[in-house]
Each structure stands twice: as structure tokens, then as C-alpha cells.
Amino acid sequence: MLRRRAWWSRHSLVVAPPFVWLLLFLLLPFVLVFKISFADLKFGIPPYTSLVELKDHTLSIALHLRGYALLFSDSLYIATYLSSVKIAAITTLCCALIGYPMAYCIARSNPAVRNVLLLGVILPFWTSLLLRVYAWVGILRNDGLLNKVLLWLGLIKTPLEIYRTDLAVYIGLVYAYLPFFILPLYANLVKLDERLLEAAYDLGAKPWRAFLRVTLPLSMPGVIAGAMLVFIPAVGEYVIPEMLGGANTLMMGRVMWTEFFNNADWPMAAAITCVMVLLLLVPLALFQYNQVRQLEAERRGEP
């Protein structure tokens, strides 16, 4: 019993700092935003009403649902949520189609070459995201580098209208979040026991069948982890849609910025934020469920 208590005390000291960090910088700010979402708009500082007020020895609590009512009744907000989920889902799918072959080639390459390829994946993180996205502005504009090259080669007669479209947003999102898909998938593929593939080949399986029956199922935890790392931040992305997207590009990050800073409607912006966080809890819960199942299967010795 004493050993168990000593073990628990040592491990609690290790686990406590991350939990305290999350409590201070994640949970408490969300609680504040959640509180503001039930306030009402007011001209002043801060630009919202108080939920609890003591006046003439009377304690009154006022919860305003204006923000949430608008979210579920105004077609603009509903369309924005659907558009954000659609753009994030397509971005995740594109990252999977591009990132899986890249991660597979890196994991199967020579160790000396592997480090160089990994450096190429990580290298964009050494530059500010703002600068990288601004570089895409210079590439995708009507008079940008891409159109100049295509016109010089004679492949097009007039410049392509890519800048300020949804296609430009997809290009920027895939470029920005592709490493987030490759790295966890690579970490999974590099640990794959190649003897399983050799056993499949010995049993007469062709390479494509061995990939579908052995490599792909065993790499699914990496695929799911990479997909979550792409989908979740892409839903609330602001910089890329603002710099590359047009006026019709609806995403929650742009709407929240507009409500907070342009309209100064903090309760509405807080309601949008809370609903978006609840929306993102669904894939997080699915990811956690998959991780728990994977750990239980490993403990039981199942493939």
C-alpha cells in the first residue's frame, strides 16, 4: 500500500503541471467566453451586460439567449458552419491523399535519406505562417508567378482566376496543414513490423493486397491522428481564408473576427465560439474512443 501511494504521489507530480496549464489557459478562458455568450450587447466597456447584478438588496440573474437564437435561426450562420465543416473535411481528404504516399515513402526510404525528407517536411515551420500565406498571394494572383509561367508556356490564353476563390483557400489550407498529417502518420508507419509484409508475400499476397490487408489497417491510428490535427484547426482557420479567400468564402474564423472587432458584438461572437468548440468535441471524442480501443487491443495482444 505504501509503495502504491509513493508511486501515485510521484506520478501525480509529473501529471499535475500539464493539467494545471490546461486549466489556466484552456478551461478558464473558455468559461469566461461561455459566460459572455449569455450576456446581452451593451454600448460601453466591456460591451456586454453583467449576468449577475445586486441592486436594492435584490440579486438578479439575467441569461440572454439572443446569440444562440440567432445562430440557429439565421441562415447565414448555419451556412457558415456548414461551409467551415465542408472546407475542413475536403482539406483533410486532400491532405490524406497527398500525405499518405509521402509519409509511406519517407518511412520506407533509407535512414540517411529519411532524415533529409523529414527535414523538408518540417522546414516550413521555420517560417512564419503569415509570410508563407502571403507568398501564395504572390503566386496565385492574376499577375502572379503561376499565371506568368502558364502564359509563357502557352498552356493558357488568359490568366486563371484562382486568387480570392475557394480553390485558393483549399491550396493554402492543404499547404499549411499537410505536415500535421504526415508527421503522425510517419511515426506510425516507421514502427510497422516489415515481417508482417514478408509473411503476406510468402502466403501469395500481391503488393497491393498486402498494402490493403496489412499496411493500411495498421496505419489507421496514424491516419486518424493526422486527420484530427488537420480537421480541428482548419474549421476555425482565419488567416488563410482572409488572405486568399473571397467575400463569399464563409468560415467561422472570419465570422468571429467580424463579430468581435468590427461589430463589437462580444456576446454573439462568444456564442459562435462556444458552438464551434462543442462541434469540435465530436471528432475529439471519436479520436479518444479510437485511442482507448487501440490501447486495449495492444494490451490484449490483438493485431
Q: What's the confidence (pLDDT) of residue 3?
A: 55
| pLDDT for 26 beyond 90 | no
pTM over 0.75: yes
Residues 180, 99: Cα–Cα separation, whole Å: 9
Residue pair 135/147 in contact by the 8 Å Cβ criterion? no
Mind listing the pLDDT tens digit for each residue in 137-188?
A: 999 999 999 999 999 999 989 999 999 999 999 999 999 999 999 999 999 9
From the number of C-beta atoms within 10 Å of its C-beta (0-12, 13-18, 19+), residue 57 rates as exposed
Place of cell 509511406: 104
Q: What's the confidence (pLDDT) of residue 4?
A: 56
Q: What's the confidence (pLDDT) of residue 301?
A: 60
pLDDT tier, 204 (very low <50, low <70, confident <90, very high otherwise)? confident
Of 11-25, 78-92, 254-268, least confident by mean pLDDT is 11-25
Q: What is the mean pLDDT of residues 208-221?
A: 89
Angle, CA of 197, 199 and 200, to the nearest 5°: 65
- What is the overall mean pLDDT for the chain? 87
CB count in 10 Å sphere of residue 135:
13
